[in-house]
Structure 1
Amino acid sequence: MVEVRAQRASKPEGWQPQLVALDIDGTLLKWVVGQGTTHEVVPDRVRDAVQRVLAAGCHVVLASGRAPHGMTAIADQLGLRDPLDPDGRLWIVASNGSVIVRHPPMEIVHEETFDAAPAVHAVLERHPDALVAIEERGVGYRVSAPFPEGELGGELIVTHLDDLVSAPVSRVIIRDPQATADDFVAMAAQLGLHGTDYVVGWTAWLDLAPVGVSKASGLAYVAERLGIGPDDVLAIGDGRNDIEMITWAGRGVAMGQAVPEVQDAADAVAAPVDEDGAATELDLWFG
């Protein structure tokens, strides 16, 4: 049984978010049991709740570890259009904050890059059979070898490792199907990965990013341009890569199936994704 702390955060009477930041996998989309992927269909109850947020004149920003091309289809499923933009164009925080997008049409307006080679080689010394992926914008990913089916969207282009990290990149994914998430948490802590920020996913999945870049930094970039402060932001997520945005937002909410470190960082814990917890949280403020 999940303890739902839906009212832990203290907010002034009548408070309503001006910006709602939503993770995708495990927050809007339900996990496929045992596969590390999500169903690519937004539940009706969640879509309806998001539409009520838009009808109230609130900005909705998707914030995900996904590449931009894996996010715009979800935005379209939700019927997202910014109610305060004359053209209805959205802001999207992609690649764990490394890439900021406007949509539609998809336009990359900001990107952070870094030299990933030292960190990648350090990880591969510990996990020599691990898989490496770099986003190939608008197409899919360049990969050192094929990833498990369904884990990466778009076309997968097999590329020699040296070519993958020969130039600055915005994000690197390292995946070892033979290891566990706990293995990667321990490894990353031991390595230090100087000059690089990292986050471990639900499985042995490691995201590498430029130092200081996260969903929180991406949302801060967007919020500044919208004239909104963090106190007026509601953020909902379920993964370790959501911790920074959950703590940055005026109200940060963890999904009920999130690991303890994510729940501990949150102001509130919603019901699990299988119970449409994001919709329940949104209905507190936009019901």
Structure 2
Amino acid sequence: MGDYKLIALDMDGTLLNKGAISEENVKCIQAVLEQGKNVILATGRPIRDVLPYTEKLNLELPLVINNGSEVWRTPKALHSRHLLTGEQVERICKYIFSLDQNIEYWAHTVRGTVDQSNFPDNCESVQWLQFAVKTEDEALRHRIREELAAWNTFEISNSSVNNIECNPIGVSKASGLTEICRMIGIEMSEVIAVGDSLNDISMICAAGLGVAMGNAQQAVKDAADHVAPTNRENGVAAVIKRFMVS
């Protein structure tokens, strides 16, 4: 067992199973905290969707939110925020509209989530944290991803195989986790990062120990140092027992 001081946990597909945290995962997280070590949630979710889980786990530690577009010092205190521009969002919208295909899209903003039903008319008036596109059509999804990547404007990832998520260039779960390490005075080599989707690869590669869940996308497993059991099998608890608590 290494001398790891912090474990960073993705939420959906990692810590959560059907939106819930198992009692075994809760028990092991509390054991980490009792030993004076850190448990960080690193998620693509917005802060309002994360707070119920920090309360359940009694976490007053920093958070990586919206794939790193926000870093919170505590669940109630914002540390930093990195925004997409209205021009960038408008350009994505113009491109996906030009495809004339059945493409879902949504975005996380500082004020809340928007989608086709309530998308603002003026993109410049909104503080954009993250933009996402979803389609079941694999070829179309690949085409969109290739086009957006060619702009060299975004960090592009996903939180499920059918979506594409855009954050500001240089902003990722790894950048957010690096900010937190500086904040609390530890090295990335002392961190375990656990996840299941492409938005987790950056922190899995940057951490001292990168862990993919058993249910992770193959690219995540390929990038990881260790593959844990699935989120349905208390994979987070298994990682904690093996690498974090004595």
TM-score (norm 1): 0.77
Aligned mates of 2:21, 2:96 — CA distance in 1 = 35
Q: How far 1:95 moved relative to its partner?
A: 0.2
Identity %: 29
More helix by share: 2
Aligned CA distance change for structure 1 residues 207 and 127 (closer, same or farther; 3 Å): farther
SS of structure 1 residue aligned to 2:79: strand
Give 1:53's aligned residue.
32
Aligned CA distance change for structure 1 residues 181 and 203 (closer, same or farther; 3 Å): farther
Give 1:27's aligned residue.
14
Residue segments in structure 2 that go unaligned for 5+ positions in a row: none
Aligned mates of 2:238, 2:3 — CA distance in 1 = 15
Give 2:90's aligned residue.
117
TM-score (norm 2): 0.89
Aligned CA distance change for structure 1 residues 227 and 102 (closer, same or farther; 3 Å): closer
- Greater CA drift, 162-171 or 45-54: 162-171
Aligned mates of 1:141, 1:29 — CA distance in 2 = 21
Amino acid aligned to 2:97: L
Q: How far 1:207 moved relative to its partner?
A: 1.1
Give 1:8's aligned residue.
none
Give 1:69's aligned residue.
48
* Equivalent residue for 2:152, pick from 191, 194, 207: 194
Aligned mates of 1:231, 1:16 — CA distance in 2 = 9
Q: How far 1:60 moved relative to its partner?
A: 1.1
- Deviations for 1:227-256, whole angstroms, at most 9, x for unmatched residues? 111110001001110000000000000000
Counterparts of 1:87-102 in structure 2 under 5 Å?
89-102=60-73
Amino acid aligned to 2:65: A
Aligned mates of 2:238, 2:72 — CA distance in 1 = 28
Give 1:16's aligned residue.
3
Aligned CA distance change for structure 1 residues 164 and 181 (closer, same or farther; 3 Å): farther
SS of structure 2 residue aligned to 1:71: helix
Q: Contact between 2:134 and 2:141, CA under 8 Å: does it hold in 1?
A: no
- Deviations for 1:99-138, whole angstroms, at most 9, x for unmatched residues? 111334x222210012222233223333644233232446
Q: Contact between 1:181 and 1:202, CA under 8 Å: does it hold in 2?
A: no
Aligned CA distance change for structure 1 residues 226 and 185 (closer, same or farther; 3 Å): farther
Aligned CA distance change for structure 1 residues 280 and 180 (closer, same or farther; 3 Å): farther
Aligned mates of 1:127, 1:166 — CA distance in 2 = 26
Amino acid aligned to 2:119: T
Amino acid aligned to 1:242: D
- Greater CA drift, 183-192 or 21-30: 183-192
Count of aligned residue pairs for this structure pair: 241
Amino acid aligned to 2:213: M
Amino acid aligned to 1:125: S
Q: Contact between 1:216 and 1:245, CA under 8 Å: does it hold in 2?
A: yes
